[in-house]
Amino acid sequence: MDNHTFKKINEFCDNVSDRTVSQTERDFVIRKYSESYISSIESKIQANNNQPLTQNQLDDIRDTLLNNSNMENYVIAARDYYQKLEEKYYQDFKKKNNGFWLTVGVNLISNFIYSFLIIILFIVARDQISSWISSLKVDGNNPPPIEQQEEKPGSASSLKIKSDSIITN
């Protein structure tokens, strides 16, 4: 695309009366113009039995594509395309956002149930472990239960007993 054509497209986009044309919409207009220009040249070459086009024919194609009605159609197509794209992304975001809060709610409820089950398990396990310990036999290989062990002088439990007796005296 030559500089004159590029400037003409930008001037048209600057002079659109209803609102400004964003840079992404300008890029879309330029792409659409380029696609139309190339397809027009290809169809004209095929119509001329694969003969190369003259400069006058190329200028006619360019001027036809750069008229106001075609340029307005490019701008309208750009706006429609980006509006649909924006709506699609908004709908996807909205759908994922609703799924996000559902996931958060399910995770909170499942964590509460899990915590409740762990508490019950510890309560049941405490009773079970104490019943297992009490059912163990005391023999020569196993040390006596903690309550029956003799206190060694200087051990933490004997010091606690001594400190308790000092405090009460």
Name the residue among 58, 48, 46 with its Cα closest to residue 4. Answer: 58
16 exposure class (CB count in 10 Å sphere: 0-12, 13-18, 19+): middle
Helix ranges (DSSP H) in 18-67: 23-47, 55-65
pLDDT score of 95: 79
Contact 62/5 with Cβ under 8 angstroms? Answer: yes
* pLDDT of 84: 94
pLDDT for position 109? 96
pLDDT at 113: 97
Does residue 81 contact residue 27 with C-beta atoms inside 8 Å? no
Residue 132 is predicted with a pLDDT of 79
pLDDT of residue 41: 86
b/e burial code for range 31-54 (CB count within 10 A of at least 16 → b): ebbeebbeebeeeeeeeeeeeeee
Q: What does pLDDT average to in each consecutive run of 10 residues of the chain (169 residues)?
A: 81 76 85 88 87 86 86 88 92 81 91 94 82 68 57 56 51
| Model pLDDT, residue 87 | 93
Check residue 88 and give its pLDDT: 93
What is the per-residue pLDDT for 65? 86
